[in-house]
Chains A and B, each alone.
Chain A
């Protein structure tokens, strides 16, 4: 997977009055994403893989590291399912999003 930051976002499509959103996204991309790429390697998620990974990113922040992973699988035509969670819905518009109560018990697969 490329680490050359060829995936940089276009900041002018995401705006907030005081610039804090752009700052958070930029910091996520330049600080957190390189660590996430290493995390993907250690987890064996870096393509090519011969399975269909199901990934739960339960503190996804801006969602950018998960998006890097999704893009890489899409580029290679390989399947991956990623569910992103965080405590704030953020400002993203191009995704299917739900606000849910995470205090689920018993485990999901027992009630589905």
Chain B
């Protein structure tokens, strides 16, 4: 099983190595994202903090990996069989808006995304993120929120 197939630069090589490690007919599974709601929220917050509406959405792998067809194609080429993909919607339950901001801004990916920001922009992000969250979750106040997270789970089998 793998929760990182979107990251290798050479997917075909990675799948060939995975296949080599499996006995014939062994099942394989992959999880990858269709939608990561927290990046959409933090993108809006980033535009607010930088006053730059052209700021790109945070991305750490090729956008084609937000589509199930990408993996299906790779699995077919790699010789896997019985490919089935389900779409799963399991929201991220966060204790509060401030917990959301604390967690997302301490992520390594966020540090990469903001590495060229000025200190003033970094200082503004908390207020901007809370502002975005207040718009999205006006009734939550200091209580929990649910952030949309939609993933694909693929199941396949090594051929004989």
| A binding-site residues for B, Cβ under 8 Å | 18-20, 22-24, 26-27, 30-32, 34-36, 38-39, 42-44, 55-61, 65, 86, 102-109
Are the CB atoms of A107 and B20 closer together than 8 Å?
yes
Closest chain-A Cβ to B51's Cβ sits at a distance in Å of 26
B20→A59 contact, CB < 8 A: no
CB of B125 to closest CB in A, whole Å: 15
**Quick check: A59 and B155 within 8 Å, CB to CB?**
no
Chain B residue numbers with a CB within 8 Å of A60 are 3
List 7 contacting pairs A-B, 8 Å CB cutoff, sorted by A. A19-B106, A35-B90, A39-B31, A58-B1, A104-B20, A105-B20, A107-B21
Q: How many angstroms between the C-alpha atoms of A32 and B43 in the bound complex?
A: 21
Taking CB as reference atom, which chain B residue is nearest A86? B4
Q: A20-B107, A20-B111 are in contact. Are A65 and B88 (CB under 8 A)?
A: no
Please tell me if the beta carbons of B2 and A30 are within 8 angstroms of each other in the complex. no
Q: Which 7 A-B pairs have the closest CB atoms?
A: A59-B4, A23-B106, A107-B20, A34-B90, A59-B2, A19-B106, A31-B92
Q: Shortest Cβ distance from B58 into chain A, in angstroms?
A: 14
Asked whether B108 lies within 8 Å of A43 as measured between CB atoms, the reply is: no
- Known A32-B3, A42-B155, A56-B1; further 11 A-B contacts with Cβ < 8 A: A18-B106, A27-B103, A36-B1, A39-B1, A43-B29, A55-B1, A58-B2, A60-B3, A61-B4, A102-B17, A104-B21
Measured CB to CB, the nearest residue on chain A to B27 is A43
Contact of B149 among A31, A39, A59, A61 (CB under 8 A): A31
Whether the pair A36, B106 counts as a contact (CB closer than 8 A) is no
A20 B108 Cβ-Cβ under 8 A: yes
- A42 near B90 with CB under 8 A, answer no
* Distance A31 CA – B31 CA, assembled complex (angstroms): 12
Interface 1/0s, chain B 20-63, versus A by CB < 8 A?
Answer: 11110001010100000000000000000000000000000000
Are B29 and A42 closer than 8 Å at their CB atoms? Answer: yes
Cβ of B66 to closest chain A Cβ, rounded Å: 15
